[in-house]
């Protein structure tokens, strides 16, 4: 059972990093605990929780070091600017300041800029790691105090295409609309573009059953640790793989073709669940006609997967479907297929495939997206997204505006409309019609945004850059004002896991003297900017307001409170999945939450899921003679996102201290690059440098670089900022590069 411990005595809480939100217990560290270079203030122990089943990865085990980071920010910093006689602006060094001076500078800057250039001249950039309470309060600050349309967040980089596809098909987007543990009972899982064995290793436990039944199919241009779980392609199977599934290694940027071919086979061989389609799905005929053109032999010429393998996968999935007497099947997508200019189309094709087989809205089967960031799910529900209000409501919907404005006590007409999505917002900074000030919370865009060199130029063109952070991240070091804020084990709040399970984050240690919660920062900014809109400081009170604002929305939290979540956990409950309306459908007892969505009907107006016909266009930056190699980016086990946190954990930094360029030995021989040699990658946006790391697990036409570092090896300097036309998500996962030995090293 969980326990809500008083501050300073330890607590049952969850990992500060990814969306698996592994359960862990924190207890105060005795003085003799070795610190490995940092100073842990708590000891981490894994805790039984349904997503991690008592497991933690290396990041979770070492997370206590974050609390003792040697360069933890504890005082605000400000940077002075001077204007010389010719009008040239020079920027001084960041220097310590009082909270009063720092906030005064922010308020004066915002006031002057909005007076000169309008409300939208101040922009806000949030993060998918913020608690639900902070994400909600940040959206409220933007809409009621700053009254700017320009708010978006880094979730646009990682979940927008999955959200757009799911919303269009199902009328609701909850990454996994079923508990993760449901995967254990399936006969087949098709996993597209997710390396969960490295990014969230404890999740692999849920694939044990499907691996035993030889039903795991992984689609990835690299033979990742996850692809190796299939056992495919290895004599006797990989270690621990009792039998063989399939690993498909398509040409980067052609995942959509794989899916279109699978759909073709499903209909060509009479494998579709026609009874389910007739009863629960619309748009079927359009899709059936569209995929008729993608017979496997044609698809093979584009994606490189043999027609035989494509047929085998379609038959395997169909055999696992309930319609054909199987235990069940799942189609799951991750960033590998979503971070693409055709990401929404690819997700849509994955959903179309799941629908053709009759999987979504059935216990034991379905479609889901493996969300990445810690609060990637909650982060998209409470109003820090450009087009949304709390409760996952659409900002342009008059009823939604009226409801939320009522909770906030403001005139609905005063709420701004939708703003620019993240990449467009970053590109517009400091341009003649773009924002002149930016407030950044929980995001390190100088490392994590695509085409990051251009992002740096845009940040430098601002009149005011304000960053709230724990540590001097690359983005914070470029700011005019840096505000030091609390983190993870220093604060109370809630997060929402990748399955829509709302969980409690608990305070285990007292924050360092000098740092403040963002909730206090938002309240103080509102007060100093003359707003009368209340901003509570107590996270439980903020949550209660968030719950009221969400009432009746898709992500309805109105039946939840910190007290209810604590009581549920203390009673050994499995957690509560949204929607949790305040009123139970049956009356009487509190609503039990909704572990599985869509069992009776989808959330569309007519209750039917929508199939949508899509087609393959190809990557925006495709290979060509001067850039003949595909670049794909991603993560390594030891680091999380921009690395601002994990690079400060000594054990993780020692394990993987910097980036490398993974390439096949065949490519290395062709280019005269040996394992360990310095390499230069050049794209249309610039160049990066890192040592080569030979691996026969990657396609010979492709190189891979992780994105956790800054400097010369910061791969996002060369990724493209082309975006998906529906979701606004950037195409991190494929661009064209020239690869050469690095003469400068």
Residues that bind ligand SF4 (CB under 6 A): 15, 17-18, 20-22, 52, 56-57, 59-60, 200-202
10 Å CB burial of residue 586 (0-12, 13-18, 19+) is exposed
Which is nearer to ligand SF4, 26 or 113 (by Cβ)?
Answer: 26
Joined together, the tokens standing for residue 620 give 């925006």
Distance CA 459, CA 480 (A): 10
* CB 56, min distance to ligand SF4, A: 4
A 10 A CB-CB count for 613 gives 19
* CB 447, min distance to ligand SF4, A: 18
Which is nearer to ligand SF4, 161 or 641 (by Cβ)?
Answer: 641
* CB 60, min distance to ligand SF4, A: 2
* CB 652, min distance to ligand SF4, A: 11
Which is nearer to ligand SF4, 19 or 284 (by Cβ)?
Answer: 19
212: Cβ contacts below 8 Å, ≥ 6 apart: 242, 243
* CB 115, min distance to ligand SF4, A: 44
Distance CA 169, CA 297 (A): 29
Q: What is the enclosing helix (H) or strand (E) of 740?
A: strand 735-741
Which is nearer to ligand SF4, 52 or 719 (by Cβ)?
Answer: 52
Cβ atoms of 14 and 51 closer than 8 Å:
no
Which is nearer to ligand SF4, 42 or 200 (by Cβ)?
Answer: 200
Which residues are bridge partners to 501 per DSSP? 577
* CB 708, min distance to ligand SF4, A: 13
Distance CA 161, CA 134 (A): 24
* CB 640, min distance to ligand SF4, A: 6
* CB 67, min distance to ligand SF4, A: 15
* CB 395, min distance to ligand SF4, A: 31
* CB 220, min distance to ligand SF4, A: 19
Joined together, the tokens standing for residue 563 give 């007290």
Which is nearer to ligand SF4, 13 or 342 (by Cβ)?
Answer: 13
Which is nearer to ligand SF4, 200 or 508 (by Cβ)?
Answer: 200
* CB 22, min distance to ligand SF4, A: 3
Which is nearer to ligand SF4, 159 or 425 (by Cβ)?
Answer: 159
* CB 163, min distance to ligand SF4, A: 20
Distance CA 139, CA 149 (A): 10
Q: What is the DSSP string of 131-181?
A: -HHHHHHHHHIIIIII--S-EEEGGGGTTHHHHHHHHHHHS---SSSS-GG
Distance CA 459, CA 430 (A): 7
Which is nearer to ligand SF4, 18 or 190 (by Cβ)?
Answer: 18
* CB 313, min distance to ligand SF4, A: 27
Which is nearer to ligand SF4, 372 or 668 (by Cβ)?
Answer: 372
Distance CA 241, CA 227 (A): 11
Given phi > 0 = left and psi -120 to 50 = alpha, else beta, which region is 54?
left
Cβ atoms of 666 and 218 closer than 8 Å:
no
Phi/psi for 225 (5° steps) reads -60, -30
Q: Which residue is nearest to ligand SF4 (CB)?
A: 60
Largest pairwise CA distance in the chain: 81
* CB 157, min distance to ligand SF4, A: 18
Distance CA 175, CA 158 (A): 12
Which is nearer to ligand SF4, 76 or 202 (by Cβ)?
Answer: 202
Q: What is the enclosing helix (H) or strand (E) of 455?
A: helix 452-460
* CB 18, min distance to ligand SF4, A: 3
Distance CA 478, CA 472 (A): 9
Residue 434 DSSP symbol: S
Q: What is the DSSP string of 383-415?
A: T-STTEETTTEETT-HHHHHHHHHHHTS-GGGS
Which is nearer to ligand SF4, 18 or 26 (by Cβ)?
Answer: 18
Which is nearer to ligand SF4, 55 or 326 (by Cβ)?
Answer: 55
Which is nearer to ligand SF4, 10 or 60 (by Cβ)?
Answer: 60
Q: How far apart are the first and last CA of the chain?
A: 55
Contacts 24+ apart (CB under 8 A), 139-143: 139/382, 139/383, 139/384, 139/385, 139/388, 139/389, 139/390, 140/383, 140/408, 140/522, 140/533, 140/535, 141/522, 141/525, 141/526, 141/535, 142/384, 143/383, 143/389, 143/408, 143/415, 143/416
Which is nearer to ligand SF4, 158 or 246 (by Cβ)?
Answer: 158
Q: What is the DSSP string of 80-104?
A: EEEE-TT--EEEEEEEE--HHHHHH
């Amino acid at each position: 059972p969980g326990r809500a411990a008083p501050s300073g005595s330890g607590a049952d809480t969850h990992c500060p990093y990814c969306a698996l939100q592994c359960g862990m217990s924190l207890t105060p560290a005795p003085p003799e605990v070795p610190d490995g270079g940092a100073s842990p203030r708590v000891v981490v122990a894994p805790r039984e929780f349904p997503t991690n089943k008592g497991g933690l990865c290396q990041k979770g085990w070492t997370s206590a070091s974050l609390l003792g980071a040697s360069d933890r920010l504890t005082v605000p910093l400000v940077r002075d600017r001077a204007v010389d006689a010719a009008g040239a602006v020079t920027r001084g060094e960041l220097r310590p300041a009082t909270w009063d001076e720092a906030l005064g500078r922010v308020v004066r800057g915002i006031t002057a800029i909005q007076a000169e250039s309008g409300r939208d001249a101040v922009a806000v950039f949030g993060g998918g790691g913020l608690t639900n309470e902070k994400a909600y309060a940040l959206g409220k600050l933007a809409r009621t105090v700053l009254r700017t349309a320009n708010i978006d967040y880094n979730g646009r980089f990682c979940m927008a295409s999955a959200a757009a596809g799911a919303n269009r098909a199902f009328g609701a987007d909850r990454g996994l609309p079923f508990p993760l543990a449901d995967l254990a009972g399936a006969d087949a899982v098709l996993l597209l573009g997710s390396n969960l064995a490295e990014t969230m290793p404890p999740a692999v436990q849920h694939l044990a059953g499907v691996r035993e039944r030889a039903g795991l199919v992984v689609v990835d241009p690299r033979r990742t640790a996850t692809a190796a779980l299939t056992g495919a392609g290895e004599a006797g199977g990989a270690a621990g793989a009792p039998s063989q599934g399939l690993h498909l290694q398509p040409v980067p940027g052609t995942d959509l073709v794989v899916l279109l071919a699978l759909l073709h086979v499903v209909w060509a061989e009479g494998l579709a669940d026609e009874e389910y389609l007739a009863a629960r799905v619309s748009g079927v005929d359009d899709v059936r006609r569209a995929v008729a053109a993608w017979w496997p032999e044609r698809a093979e010429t584009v994606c490189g997967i043999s027609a035989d393998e494509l047929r085998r996968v379609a038959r395997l999935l169909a055999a696992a479907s309930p319609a054909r007497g199987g235990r069940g099947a799942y189609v799951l997508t991750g960033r590998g297929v979503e971070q693409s200019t055709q990401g929404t189309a690819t997700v849509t094709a994955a959903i179309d495939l799941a629908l053709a087989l009759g999987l979504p809205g059935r216990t034991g089967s379905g479609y889901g997206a493996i969300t990445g960031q810690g609060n990637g799910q909650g982060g998209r529900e409470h109003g820090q997204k450009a087009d949304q209000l709390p409760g996952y409501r659409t900002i342009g919907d008059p009823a939604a505006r009226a409801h939320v404005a009522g909770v906030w006590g403001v005139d609905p007409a005063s709420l701004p409309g939708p703003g620019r999505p993240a990449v467009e917002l970053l590109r517009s900074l400091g341009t003649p019609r773009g924002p002149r000030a930016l407030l950044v919370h929980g995001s390190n865009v100088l490392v994590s945004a695509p085409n990051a060199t251009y992002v740096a130029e845009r940040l430098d063109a601002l009149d005011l850059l304000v960053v709230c952070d724990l540590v001097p991240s690359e983005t914070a070091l470029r700011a005019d004002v840096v505000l030091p804020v609390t983190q993870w084990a220093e604060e109370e709040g809630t997060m929402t896991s990748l399955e829509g399970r709302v969980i409690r984050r608990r305070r285990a240690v007292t924050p360092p003297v000098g740092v403040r919660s963002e909730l206090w920062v938002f309240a103080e900014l509102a007060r100093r900017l003359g707003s009368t809109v209340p901003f509570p400081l107590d996270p439980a009170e903020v949550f209660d307001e968030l719950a009221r604002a969400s009432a009746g929305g898709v992500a309805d939290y109105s039946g939840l409170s910190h007290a209810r979540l604590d009581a549920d956990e203390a009673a050994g409950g499995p957690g509560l999945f949204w929607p949790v309306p305040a009123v139970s459908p049956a009356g009487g007892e509190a609503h039990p939450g909704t572990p599985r969505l869509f069992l009776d009907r989808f959330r569309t107006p007519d209750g039917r899921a929508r199939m949508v016909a899509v087609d393959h266009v190809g990557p925006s930056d495709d290979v060509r003679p001067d850039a003949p190699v595909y670049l794909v980016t991603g993560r390594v086990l030891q680091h999380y996102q921009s690395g601002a946190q994990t690079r400060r954990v000594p054990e993780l930094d020692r394990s993987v201290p910097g980036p490398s360029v993974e390439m096949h030995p065949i490519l290395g021989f062709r280019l005269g690059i040996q394992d360990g040699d310095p390499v230069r990658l050049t794209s249309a946006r610039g160049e990066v440098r890192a040592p080569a790391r030979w691996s026969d697990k990657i396609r010979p036409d492709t190189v891979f670089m992780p994105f956790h570092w800054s400097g010369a090896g910061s791969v996002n300097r060369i990724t493209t900022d082309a975006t998906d036309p529906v979701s606004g998500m950037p195409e991190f996962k494929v661009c064209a590069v020239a690869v050469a030995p690095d003469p400068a090293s």
